[in-house]
Amino acid sequence: MKWDEGHQSANVIDRRGGGGGGRRVAGIGIVGTIIVLLLARFTGIDVTPLLGGGAGEGTPLPPESDADRKLKEFVSFVLDDVQATWHTVLGTQYRDAKMVLFTDAVETRCGHADSGVGPFYCGGDQQVYIDLRFYRMLDERFGAPGDFAQAYVIAHEIGHHVQHLQGVFGPLRERASGDEERQLSIRQELQADCYAGVWAYHSQRKQLLEEGDLEEGLRAAAAIGDDTLQRRATGHVEPESWTHGSSAQRVKWFRRGFERGQVAACDTLAASD
């Protein structure tokens, strides 16, 4: 993916090296269910060590390496590019979200979260949260390397911000319970995938995409499907417990957004499947 090295975003808040205690987060995360509801539920594994953590809660990290600095510049560029796309698509209806970089643990208006939750969006403060070491896990544990796979994660979480501004899923999920609430969760996640595809469509038109980028995004979407994660964790699949959608569904909706480039193409509430 083509991007401007040295980019600094005014919407990135760097809290790396901090931590804290408190109640657990209730926000939406692209891998929150992957980690908390799947791996923890089926295997009891705490994935925080897999993120490469060595610093304790609240312990300052060593000086930033060149790789860390470059990654921060990359996510800053992607964040600004994704939000510029939504300003173009939605006009004055869109308001910027912030992205918080943290290490190990962070306090949000949705509660306390640690790195094991994965990247997530909190509607209470309209901020995306990510421990950048998650990208190591995306590559090494889920087999989805590449800068465009990393960009897809951010675009998906900003997709949740777009949903928050639209105000559709929140009221529906507040009134739902049981299987209905779970089905709404799946449709909400798939729509965020589709919105990530809408951004990718516009990035391609700006000639930011390089050969193989789309495949990286599709590979990342497939790697975090509920069926793939359940099979990896337990050796079998339980569709009745899905909350994010199957690999095929996630690929389908990301590709749909990429091919059509329009919000109207992402109406997962109206989709029969």
Asked, for residue 35, whether it belongs to a domain, the answer is yes
Asked, for residue 202, whether it belongs to a domain, the answer is yes
pLDDT for 258 beyond 90: yes
pLDDT confidence of residue 36: 43
Q: Indicate which CATH number applies to the domain containing 21.
A: 3.40.390
User: Residue 178 sits in which domain range?
Assistant: 12-266
**C-beta separation of 130 from 7 below 8 A:** no
Burial (CB count <10 Å: 0-12, 13-18, 19+), residue 54: exposed
Number of domains observed in the structure of the chain: 1
Asked, for residue 154, whether it belongs to a domain, the answer is yes
pLDDT confidence of residue 62: 55
Tens digits of residue pLDDT in 107-160: 999 999 888 888 999 999 999 999 998 888 888 888 888 999 999 999 999 999
Asked, for residue 81, whether it belongs to a domain, the answer is yes
Tens digits of residue pLDDT in 161-178: 999 999 999 888 888 888
Report the mean per-residue pLDDT for the chain: 84
Asked, for residue 152, whether it belongs to a domain, the answer is yes
pLDDT for 50 beyond 50: no
173-211 as b/e: b if 16+ CB within 10 A: eeeeeeeeebebbbbbbbbbbbbbbbbbbbbeeeebbee
Asked, for residue 230, whether it belongs to a domain, the answer is yes
Asked, for residue 63, whether it belongs to a domain, the answer is yes
pLDDT confidence of residue 44: 40
Asked, for residue 7, whether it belongs to a domain, the answer is no
